[in-house]
């Protein structure tokens, strides 16, 4: 489930980045303003949580990959 969520977040971030770049291409710049401090800090907190989630998923996947490689090293090569 975490991998699916990570992929969805990755796609959402890619779409958001694409929208930003298209806006820059059309208007020459992008400026955002958030007059409500609660909304601004809520958005900042959400971005931090997404970044933490992405880092945790990355570390879990890296650990699994390393464990798989260690277990594969002990097996004899069957290709010969």
pLDDT at 79: 58
In the predicted structure, residue 44 carries a pLDDT above the cut 80: yes
Count: domains in the chain: 1
pLDDT at 54: 82
For all residues of the chain together, what is the average pLDDT? 82
In terms of pLDDT, which residue wins out, 59 or 72?
59
Q: What's phi and psi for 77, nearest 5 deg?
A: -75, 125
Q: Note the residue count of the chain.
A: 80
**Cα distance between residue 30 and residue 23, in whole Å:** 7
In the predicted structure, residue 38 carries a pLDDT above the cut 90: yes
Let me know if residue 80 belongs to a domain: no
Domain that holds residue 64: 2-73
Let me know if residue 78 belongs to a domain: no
Q: Which among 24, 43, 47 is positioned nearest to 34, based on CA atoms? A: 43
Q: How confident is the model at residue 78 (pLDDT cuts 50, 70, 90)?
A: low
Q: Which residue blocks in the chain are alpha helix, DSSP H?
A: 2-27, 37-73
């Amino acid at each position: 489930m975490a991998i699916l969520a990570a992929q969805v977040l990755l796609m959402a971030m890619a779409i958001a980045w694409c929208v930003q770049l298209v806006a820059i291409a059309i208007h020459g710049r992008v400026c955002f303003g958030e007059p409500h401090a609660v909304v601004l800090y809520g958005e900042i907190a959400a971005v931090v949580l997404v970044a933490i989630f992405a880092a945790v998923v990355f570390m879990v996947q890296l650990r699994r990959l390393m464990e798989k490689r260690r277990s594969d090293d002990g097996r004899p090569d069957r290709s010969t």
